[in-house]
Amino acid sequence: MTVICLGSKKERSFSRKMDPNIMKSKFRGCLLGSLMGDCLGAPYEGNEISSGDKIIIQRYFDKMEEPEFKGPFKKYTDDTAMMKSMAKFLIDKPEPDFTYLAKLFVTEYFKEPRRGYGQSVVAVFEKLRNSKYTNIYQPANEQFDGSGSYGNGGAMRIAPVALYYSSDYNNMINVARDATRITHSNIFGINGALLQCIAVQQALHINPSSKINIKEFCSCLLEKIKLIEDNSDDSEFNMPEAYQEKLKKVELLLEKEYNDDLEDEIIYTLGNGIGAYDSVGTAIFCFLKAQSCIPKIETDNIIRRTIQYAVTLGGDTDTIACMAGAIAGAYLGEEAINKALLSHCEKYDEIISLADNLYQAAGNT
Ligand code: F2R
Ligand code: MG
Ligand code: MG
């Protein structure tokens, strides 16, 4: 596969000369953004959000920003549990060992099964364990009468792959695909994970001090996902350009002026569900939309705005906020993370160490 779009000349030259401290900060920002989206979005997962709820969500974020506010940790869910396994797999094994990754997923699940895992993916973990990992892709292939899961479980955990292979596009795609296939064999689940991975990788290479070029970000994503979809076998679903069409809708919605019905249109058009097709485009949209002010989201912090906005769209809030937070953190880095909000997220210090270990494992000093 050939990479044909690497951003503007200016961005390419920034990326080549990037100060290692900025890159390290971006690794931390990405994994912390992912954790924050998961922890802060989880209490609203599955909810439909009314305009009254949006006010409550604004207060919920404001309150947690108050330095004197004390409360129990917001617990992370399966999104972070699986993201941690992805990072560990990359740190521990310089040559990707997907059986090792499957074992990490399974061990983590049986250690803490009450992290809100997808209902069906649990059957994959059980089969993997019972079969002693003889064929790590077979259990996922058997899901849903052979059509495989189209859930967003592959996408929600993919960020570490984008960081580790940030300057090795072809390996990034191959490893992201093979890591996703352990639980998700449906083309929507796989290509959704690839789209999320590419979005994080693109964000990583943008100068955090410069304003993001939204048109260029979208056209680069579109070019890359087109190549992937052109080479995908989706004969069963006959939607060969599904994610390309989704990205075009993202671009159109970003151009629309705010009105009271816009959010319904966003949810209807992009989705806010548990399927990758109904959530990955939405996360990318939230990230891009939050680059400027959003009515009724009162904060100057772009990462908070991204996550809070994703939560107000309702539905799969932990996962959409986690994916959007990962992209935003990869762009802006740790400095842009609101420390007061972060301090309420379970095990945030462990995620910082994980990001640093991943940074080193990726050959950085
Ligand atoms: N499971 C949840 N949320 C449920 C509520 C949790 C609650 N808050 C609690 O604490 O208990 N969230 C997590 O699941 C999503 C990721 O799911 P994943 O890993 O993709 O799992 P799975 O089981 O493979 O797919 C999810 C569901 O999608 C539907 N589905 C998938 N493929 C299908 C197919 N081919 N045909 C029909 N349906 C299909 C099924 O309903 C699956 O159960 C994240 O939101 C994460 O946060
Ligand atoms: Mg979850
Ligand atoms: Mg979820």
Annotated binding site, which residues? 77-79, 316, 318-319
Nearest to 234 by CA among 155, 175, 147, 149: 147
Question: Is 5 within a domain?
Answer: no
Task: Round the CA-based radius of gyration of the chain to a whole number and report it.
Answer: 19
Range of the domain at 58: 11-361
State the chain's mean pLDDT as an integer.
94
H runs (alpha helix) in the chain: 9-16, 20-41, 51-65, 78-92, 98-111, 121-130, 138-142, 153-156, 159-164, 169-180, 187-204, 214-230, 242-255, 262-270, 280-289, 302-312, 317-332, 339-342, 348-361
Do 201 and 172 touch, CB atoms closer than 8 A? yes
Nearest to 178 by CA among 190, 160, 164: 190
> pLDDT-based confidence at 11, cuts 50/70/90?
low
0.95 surpassed by pTM: yes
Q: What is the rounded CA–CA span in Å between residue 190 and residue 194?
A: 6
Which of the 8 DSSP states describes residue 5?
-
Q: Using the predicted structure, report yes or no on whether residue 12 has a pLDDT greater than 90.
A: no
Question: Is 1 within a domain?
Answer: no
Question: Is 134 within a domain?
Answer: yes
Q: Using the predicted structure, report yes or no on whether residue 133 has a pLDDT greater than 90.
A: yes
Q: What is the rounded CA–CA span in Å between residue 261 and residue 263?
A: 6
Which of the 8 DSSP states describes residue 343?
T
Question: Is 125 within a domain?
Answer: yes
Ligand 1 centre to CA of 55 (Å) is 28
Q: Which residues of 31-40 are buried (b: 16+ CB within 10 A; e: fewer)?
A: bbbbbbbbbb
Q: What is the pLDDT of residue 63?
A: 96
Question: Is 327 within a domain?
Answer: yes
% of the chain beyond a pLDDT of 70: 94
Question: Is 283 within a domain?
Answer: yes
| Ligand 1 pocket, Cβ-based, cut-off 6 angstroms | 45-46, 77-79, 116-121, 144, 147, 149-153, 156, 186, 274-275, 316, 318-319
Give 297's Cβ-side CA count (13 Å radius).
23
Token pair listed for 46: 């599955």
Token pair listed for 15: 């990326």
Per-residue pLDDT tens over the stretch 321-363: 999 999 999 999 999 999 999 999 999 999 999 999 999 999 9
Number of domains the chain is built from: 1
Do 242 and 282 touch, CB atoms closer than 8 A? no
Site to probe by mutation for ligand 1, drawn from 75, 83, 119, 124 as the one with most ligand atoms within 8 Å of Cβ, is 119
Per-residue pLDDT tens over the stretch 236-281: 566 889 999 999 999 999 999 988 789 999 999 999 999 999 999 9
**Distant-in-sequence, close-in-space partners of 238: CB < 8 Å, separation ≥ 6:** none
Question: Is 37 within a domain?
Answer: yes
Question: Is 295 within a domain?
Answer: yes
CATH, residue 85: 1.10.4080.10
- Which amino acid is present at 210? S
Site to probe by mutation for ligand 1, drawn from 120, 141, 311 as the one with most ligand atoms within 8 Å of Cβ, is 120
